[in-house]
Structure 1
Amino acid sequence: MDSSVSYREHPSYWNDFYQRGHAAAPRLPSQFAAFALGEMLTPDSPMGQIDGVIEFGCGNGRDSQLFAAHGLSVLGLDESIEAIGLCRVAGLPAHARFECCAARQAREAVEVFAEQHSRVAVYARFFLHAISEEDEHSLLALLQATLPEGAPLFLEYRTTADADQHKIFGESHYRRYLDHRATLARIAAAGFATVYEIEGRGFAKYREEDALVGRCIAIRNASLA
């Protein structure tokens, strides 16, 4: 796949990946999911205790499974119908729901889910770098318009220094390597105040690959909208 072409123009790529090669995809929850869960369930956290999680780019549901196993309601969204199919047959509890939906088309689903829960978090791991700049803008605008004040956003993404590193899954994945500081600035411009951020290695190690990633937690702040 041409790395300059967005996922939107190749919707069959991830369907093929999960249909044919899903056995190779990790099944255990990511380190970032465990980190985010700890923050979500901390009683005295400044974001409050979360009761619902919206995951964008949920893939095979491995991180959504962790959230659901700890009692959180989950809405998992992915544009790949094959990925959503894997999630739906995974035997998850009724409080985990999955929809085949592009992020730019998820406004109604996000609004309904947010209305049904007292404190909602948005989670997206390795999703921001897998969509185009245009789709990132649409996603941040959607979250700015739909999330209530105080809602946290958990993001992890590959950064520019990771571009030349060997990848387990090769170069066929679309990856838009992000400048960490510029990404934080765009998140802030969308009305989110960053309360935690870091860039480095050791956060997303998979077999012999140790990706250089950026992480952040940002809180929806009405005064910054």
Structure 2
Amino acid sequence: MEYNENKIYWDEFYRKEELYGPSSFCNLVKCSFGLEYLIIDIGCGTGRDSRAFLENKYEVRGIDSSEVVITKNNEYSLKQYSKEVYFSIDVSCVKDFSSLINSIKKIAEMQNKKILIYSRFFLHAINDDTERVFLDTLEVYLEKGDCIALEFRTIEDKQTTKIYDNHYRRYIDTNKFEQNLKKYNCFEVSFFQKGTGMSLYKTEDPYLARYFIDVR
């Protein structure tokens, strides 16, 4: 499937599918970052991880391009927390993404919190140009003490068996990704993990990379 067809696929997926309970990456992040962070869950999907963060008293905002899933997520957050914390934004749109990150940054400042960008299974769902917008925008708006937590599929995962294999994926070369990160003087990798056995789902065991990136 071509990248520009991806949104249609995910709108239909979220109309039919529900995923519950935190991912293993979410659990790792909860053990690694405290409540002093406001978490921005980018590519939040069904909200399984952002819900887990909310249940553990984190301040959270969720972003996804699917209006379908954002509506469903906000129905939940309104019912449970009497507020909407999810936003439908296309990260590839520099103006919209920058405006939202800036507005959330102001909320974090008012609450005396740092920002944690949390992004699981999002980076491999976007193309190279959108990744550039993503990182460029974070470089502009994040400050020293903020952090980024990423989990994504790598090139080693290309040949593994997939349960859902009918949508766009970009398998990421971690060597190239790290070389690209070096273009941003403010980003420093503080944790890296790569391999299988980290996110088992039914019969699927994807080959993944995990990064914690400090903003300095």
- Write the distance in 1 (CA, Å) between the matches of 2:37 and 2:181: 23
Alignment match, 2:9: 13
Gap change, CA 1:151 and 1:94, over 3 Å in 2: farther
Contact 1:68 1:95 in 2 (8 A): no
1:77 to 49, 63, 74: 63
Q: Does 1:109 align with 2:100?
A: yes
Q: Report the AA paired with residue 115 of structure 2.
A: V
Q: Does 1:138 align with 2:133?
A: yes
Q: Does 1:30 align with 2:18?
A: no
Higher mean alpha-carbon deviation, 207-216 vs 92-101, is at: 92-101
- Write the distance in 2 (CA, Å) between the matches of 1:166 and 1:182: 24
Q: Report the AA paired with residue 143 of structure 1.
A: L
Specify the SS of the correspondent of 2:135.
Answer: helix
TM-score by length of 1: 0.86
Gap change, CA 1:146 and 1:94, over 3 Å in 2: farther
- Write the distance in 1 (CA, Å) between the matches of 2:212 and 2:40: 14
* Pairs aligned (count): 206
- Write the distance in 2 (CA, Å) between the matches of 1:66 and 1:179: 30
Q: Report the AA paired with residue 7 of structure 2.
A: P
Q: Which runs of 5+ in 2 are unaligned?
A: none
What is the CA distance between 1:112 and its match in structure 2?
Answer: 1.4
What is the CA distance between 1:206 and its match in structure 2?
Answer: 0.7
Q: After superposition, give the CA deviation of every residue in 1:5-53 in whole Å (9 maximum; x if it has no partner).
A: 22x444211111111x214xx2111100110111112xxxxxxx53310
2:51 to 58, 65, 69: 65
Tell me how large the CA RMSD over aligned residues is: 1.5
Specify the SS of the correspondent of 1:210.
Answer: coil
- Write the distance in 2 (CA, Å) between the matches of 1:214 and 1:180: 8
- Write the distance in 2 (CA, Å) between the matches of 1:96 and 1:29: 20
Counterparts of residues 66-215 of structure 1 (less than 5 Å): 66-90=52-76, 91-94=79-82, 97-104=85-92, 105-117=96-108, 118-169=113-164, 171-190=165-184, 191-215=186-210
Specify the SS of the correspondent of 2:50.
Answer: helix
Q: Which runs of 5+ in 1 are unaligned?
A: 42-48
Higher mean alpha-carbon deviation, 109-118 vs 134-143, is at: 109-118
- Write the distance in 1 (CA, Å) between the matches of 2:134 and 2:49: 20
- Write the distance in 2 (CA, Å) between the matches of 1:67 and 1:81: 21
Gap change, CA 1:92 and 1:177, over 3 Å in 2: farther
Contact 2:23 2:199 in 1 (8 A): yes
Q: After superposition, give the CA deviation of every residue in 1:42-80 in whole Å (9 maximum; x if it has no partner).
A: xxxxxxx53310011000100000111111111100000
TM-score by length of 2: 0.90
Contact 2:74 2:84 in 1 (8 A): no
What is the CA distance between 1:95 and its match in structure 2?
Answer: 6.4
Dislocated runs of 4+, deviation >4 Å: none
What is the CA distance between 1:187 and its match in structure 2?
Answer: 2.5
Specify the SS of the correspondent of 1:136.
Answer: helix
- Write the distance in 1 (CA, Å) between the matches of 2:194 and 2:119: 16
Identity of counterpart residues, as a percentage? Answer: 27
Contact 1:68 1:92 in 2 (8 A): no
- Write the distance in 2 (CA, Å) between the matches of 1:181 and 1:96: 38
Contact 1:76 1:96 in 2 (8 A): no
